[in-house]
Amino acid sequence: MPKEYHVGIDIGGTFTDVVILDPGSGRASLGKRLTSTDNPGRAVIEVIREMLDRDGIAASQVVKAIHGTTLVTNLIIERKGAVTGVLTTRGFRDALEIGREMRYDIYDIFIELPKPLAPRRRRVEVTERLDNNGQILIPLTEEEAERAVNELLALGVESAAISLLHSFRNPAHERMLRDLLLAKRPGFPVSISSEVAPEVREYERTSTTVANAYTMPAVRRYMEILEKGLVELGIRGRLYIMLSTGGITSPQTASQHPIRLVESGPAGGALAAAWIGGQTGQANIISFDMGGTTAKTCIIQNGEPVRVNEFEVGRVYRFKKGSGLPVKIPVIEMIEIGAGGGSIAAIGSLGTLQVGPESAGADPGPACYGRGGKDPTVTDADLFLGYLDPDFFLGGEMKLNPKLAEVALQEKIAGPLNLSLERAAWGVHEVVNENMANASRIHAVEKGIDPRRFSLVAFGGAGPVHAYQVAEKLRLETIVIPPGAGVCSAFGFLLAPMSFDLSRSYITRLEELQWERLNFIYAELESKGRELLLDAGVALKDMQFIRSADMRYAGQGFEISVSLPEGQYGPGQREGFRRAFEKEYQDIYQRLCPEIPIEGVNWRLAATGPRPQIGAGTRWPKGTSLAEAFKGGRRVFLPAAGRYEEVPVYDRYRLPVGVKFDGPAIVEERESTVVMNGPGTAWVDPSGSLLVQLVRH
């Protein structure tokens, strides 16, 4: 019987990464090339075809392909989605502008708020009204529905979002409008809030539904093109899509809920980091994913990434919380900063060095790529400092030009600031490291976490280059660099279970909770979850349903997530619900308010299939001695000495397991480079990961 393979596909802003995995043995084939920005699918097909030919794998042996994409995020950020119209309850046409009536920067008198994806002229009011319990106060007549739908279609919209007041309690009016619209335009892209985000908070629910409708037509087309391309390549296995929660789903479900893909790519990296931590005995880790455009960090406690139920996208100031459009979807919580290999270094308005958030991307890319880029980037600085081998970038497939990097650094940084080239390049490297470390430190503190008790799992094309200095700044003791670090997110896709998250709002105090109603909610959620999993090919016996609730003290504005048991609920569970809430609240805030009633707000269900089982075999052959892995020496800049010194360079593929070597040192593999530009001890763990133990005084 021929072997079966799984493929993970990650399209980033600069590089497209592909992993072809034999799940039985754990052996993986890795591919990486510049993203084809004009047609992202082209690079995917080209690199898969090249890898299949290189490794002698027949396309028919690929039984599963899993894809994570930045398409949804980019559509919103670049405002390239569909012309979207909105149907909303009369009197609520301006909800998208009014928002939460909050300023994300109270001292900025020129504050710029995010512009709605659907402008006011394309929002149509409907005469209907429900109360907060879903009871009809003003019925939606057939004549009114006909008028509103005709008025919307007359605006020339390409998709529609329907978000009516309190529809999460009673979706009848939303469904009536949707059915009428589809009767007039079969197959028309339409999203209703009672299915996209059936939760309280009018602004967030409407914003999420509009974003879903805005991206739906492009995602539909993209899914069709990608599926067709894989079939033409000879791959007959099913295509699955990565969700922001770390689960996967079918292209059909993803096309109906494209907003669930907004953090699709980075979620794979967090899953991979958690799995690698488990393989090396590190349960509490900070994942550090630095690619060509951005860097992302995620807190992983007890082997699981932290998840939240709300996210912002399309920020006016990309890294300023509150300046974006809120979307109520479950995501793996990460912080993102504009610090990638392509991040542009420049002199700011105050005459100081700044790095990012602007990126050179894949085209034209850093100056050293020789593709027309003139601005110095992090990659140019790393090359000048000796951390990258110009003849071994992407394993020698892509040559770098040190002279172009030098010219860009001299003209844009060293000359204007009257610095030597060494100090200018190190300044770029140091600033980007400090940006990443500071963001990670703040994120950890906000979670009540001491980062010094965590290990750093570093990956992405640029992550291993910068991990040592980031760990130094965070006072971490251990760095873990997985094999194939440059394509780790694509590998993470192959670790994801089939999954979908569902929710319903039902605001009630525990003392007043109607147990029959709660049981009905969970029965309805499980029925929908079962339907989605069956559609994705999961057997009934392999399904798992995990319950949780958003709870708070009465009067509070925000909730915390509380795990709930399975089964039928009744008055006997009230005290258990209370204890579960108080435990979570105590862990987060270190106090309780026993005199205040507890409220349940949103009731959630994660419907999941089994986690894929991957063999523990080696991903590539390893050497038998350190001498066998030695490639020679290279002069690199060592910050402690303040000068260039020659350090040993090792071949990552030939490092023997368990043999230790001391830094400073460089370890190279095709997709990334590990830089130890200070003291420490490194060795390859039996799992295949490279562990670096830093010196602590």
Residue among 667, 646, 648, 647 nearest 656 (CA): 667
Instruction: Based on the fold, state whether residues 36 and 165 are members of the same structural domain.
Output: no
Mean pLDDT value across residues 201-213: 94
Residue 426 and residue 587: Cα distance in Å, rounded? Answer: 41
Residue 693 and residue 168: Cα distance in Å, rounded? Answer: 52
With respect to residue 614, please indicate whether it lies within any of the assigned structural domains: no
* The predicted structure's pLDDT at residue 620: 53
Residue 91 and residue 165: Cα distance in Å, rounded? Answer: 10
271's CB contacts (< 8 A; 6+ apart) are 246, 305, 332, 492, 493, 495, 496
Instruction: Based on the fold, state whether residues 84 and 199 are members of the same structural domain.
Output: yes
Boundary-marking domain end, from 163, 190, 219 = 219
* The predicted structure's pLDDT at residue 352: 87
Contact in structure between 605 and 546 (CB atoms under 8 Å): yes
Residue among 434, 430, 406 nearest 420 (CA): 406
Please state, rounded to an integer, the average pLDDT across all residues of the chain.
89
Instruction: Based on the fold, state whether residues 210 and 121 are members of the same structural domain.
Output: yes
Instruction: Based on the fold, state whether residues 213 and 102 are members of the same structural domain.
Output: yes
Q: Quickly state the pLDDT bin for 697 (edges 50, 70, 90).
A: low
What DSSP character marks residue 608? E
- How far, in Å, are 230, 544, 615, 666 from residue 576 at the CA level? 50, 22, 39, 54
- The dihedral region occupied by 333, where left means phi > 0, alpha psi between -120 and 50, and beta the remainder, is beta
Instruction: Based on the fold, state whether residues 82 and 52 are members of the same structural domain.
Output: no
Q: Is the dihedral of CA 593, 596, 602, 606 positive or negative?
A: positive
Q: Backbone phi, then psi, for 597, in 5-degree steps?
A: -65, 155
Q: What residues make up the domain containing 66?
A: 5-76+220-257
With respect to residue 251, please indicate whether it lies within any of the assigned structural domains: yes
131's CB contacts (< 8 A; 6+ apart) are 137, 166
Contact in structure between 51 and 84 (CB atoms under 8 Å): no
Instruction: Based on the fold, state whether residues 84 and 42 are members of the same structural domain.
Output: no
Q: Is 96 helix (H, G, I), strand (E, B) or coil?
A: helix
Least confident of 36-40, 52-56, 501-505, 556-560: 36-40
With respect to residue 382, please indicate whether it lies within any of the assigned structural domains: no
* The predicted structure's pLDDT at residue 398: 82
Give the count of domains, the chain. Answer: 3
* The predicted structure's pLDDT at residue 214: 96
Between 381 and 589, the higher pLDDT residue: 381
With respect to residue 628, please indicate whether it lies within any of the assigned structural domains: no
List, for residues 244-272, the tens digit of each pLDDT value.
Answer: 888 888 888 899 999 999 888 888 889 99
pTM metric for this prediction? 0.84
Amino acid at site 392: F
Mean pLDDT value across residues 634-656: 93
Maximum Cα–Cα distance across the chain:
83
Q: 7: which 2 tokens?
A: 């493929």
List, for residues 62-117, the tens digit of each pLDDT value.
Answer: 888 999 887 788 788 778 899 999 999 999 999 999 988 888 888 888 888 889 99
With respect to residue 677, please indicate whether it lies within any of the assigned structural domains: no
Q: Quickly state the pLDDT bin for 15 (edges 50, 70, 90).
A: confident
- Indicate if the pLDDT at residue 598 is higher than 80: yes
- Whether omega before 656 lies within 30 degrees of 0, making that bond cis, reads no
* The predicted structure's pLDDT at residue 616: 58
* The predicted structure's pLDDT at residue 563: 93
Mean pLDDT value across residues 183-195: 95
* The predicted structure's pLDDT at residue 145: 96
Q: Backbone phi, then psi, for 515, in 5-degree steps?
A: -65, -35
Least confident of 191-205, 331-345, 523-537: 331-345
* The predicted structure's pLDDT at residue 622: 66
- Indicate if the pLDDT at residue 122 is higher than 90: yes
* The predicted structure's pLDDT at residue 621: 55
Residue 677 and residue 639: Cα distance in Å, rounded? Answer: 7
Q: What is the DSSP string of 410-469?
A: IIIIIHHHT--HHHHHHHHHHHHHHHHHHHHHHHHHHTT--GGGSEEEEESSSHHHHHHH
Instruction: Based on the fold, state whether residues 57 and 169 are members of the same structural domain.
Output: no
With respect to residue 28, please indicate whether it lies within any of the assigned structural domains: yes
Instruction: Based on the fold, state whether residues 181 and 86 are members of the same structural domain.
Output: yes
With respect to residue 83, please indicate whether it lies within any of the assigned structural domains: yes
Residue among 498, 495, 496, 516 nearest 506 (CA): 516
With respect to residue 36, please indicate whether it lies within any of the assigned structural domains: yes
Residue 634 and residue 397: Cα distance in Å, rounded? Answer: 20
Q: 209: which 2 tokens?
A: 């539904």
Instruction: Based on the fold, state whether residues 25 and 116 are members of the same structural domain.
Output: no
| CATH number of the structural domain spanning residue 71 | 3.30.420.480
Q: Is 282 helix (H, G, I), strand (E, B) or coil?
A: coil
Mean pLDDT value across residues 217-243: 88
Mean pLDDT value across residues 626-630: 91
Least confident of 72-86, 128-142, 504-518: 72-86
Q: Backbone phi, then psi, for 281, in 5-degree steps?
A: 80, 25
**Planar angle of CA 307, 311, 315, nearest 5 degrees:** 145
Residue among 151, 178, 148 nearest 162 (CA): 178
* The predicted structure's pLDDT at residue 439: 83
- Indicate if the pLDDT at residue 46 is higher than 90: no
Contact in structure between 492 and 323 (CB atoms under 8 Å): no
Residue 405 and residue 386: Cα distance in Å, rounded? Answer: 12
| Percent of the chain with pLDDT strictly greater than 70 | 98
Q: Which residues pair with 561 in a beta bridge?
A: 550
Instruction: Based on the fold, state whether residues 20 and 95 are members of the same structural domain.
Output: no
Q: Is 371 helix (H, G, I), strand (E, B) or coil?
A: coil
Mean pLDDT value across residues 592-619: 85
List, for residues 141-188, the tens digit of each pLDDT value.
Answer: 999 999 999 999 999 999 999 999 999 999 999 999 999 999 999 999
Instruction: Based on the fold, state whether residues 55 and 18 are members of the same structural domain.
Output: yes
500's CB contacts (< 8 A; 6+ apart) are 243, 247, 249, 253, 529, 532, 533, 606, 607
Residue 139 and residue 429: Cα distance in Å, rounded? Answer: 63
* The predicted structure's pLDDT at residue 79: 86
Residue among 481, 670, 672, 674 nearest 51 (CA): 670
Contact in structure between 690 and 684 (CB atoms under 8 Å): yes
Q: Is 160 helix (H, G, I), strand (E, B) or coil?
A: strand
Between 28 and 381, the higher pLDDT residue: 381
* The predicted structure's pLDDT at residue 93: 95
Q: Return contacts of 407-415, CB within 8 angstroms, 24+ apart.
A: 407/367, 408/367, 408/368, 408/373, 408/374, 408/375, 408/376, 408/377, 408/380, 409/345, 409/376, 409/380, 409/381, 409/384, 412/345, 412/346, 412/347, 412/375, 412/376, 413/345, 413/346, 413/347, 413/353, 413/376
- The dihedral region occupied by 255, where left means phi > 0, alpha psi between -120 and 50, and beta the remainder, is alpha
Least confident of 20-24, 286-290, 411-415, 444-448: 444-448
Between 622 and 287, the higher pLDDT residue: 287
* The predicted structure's pLDDT at residue 77: 79
Boundary-marking domain end, from 207, 242, 257 = 257
Instruction: Based on the fold, state whether residues 190 and 226 are members of the same structural domain.
Output: no
Boundary-marking domain end, from 554, 589, 608 = 608
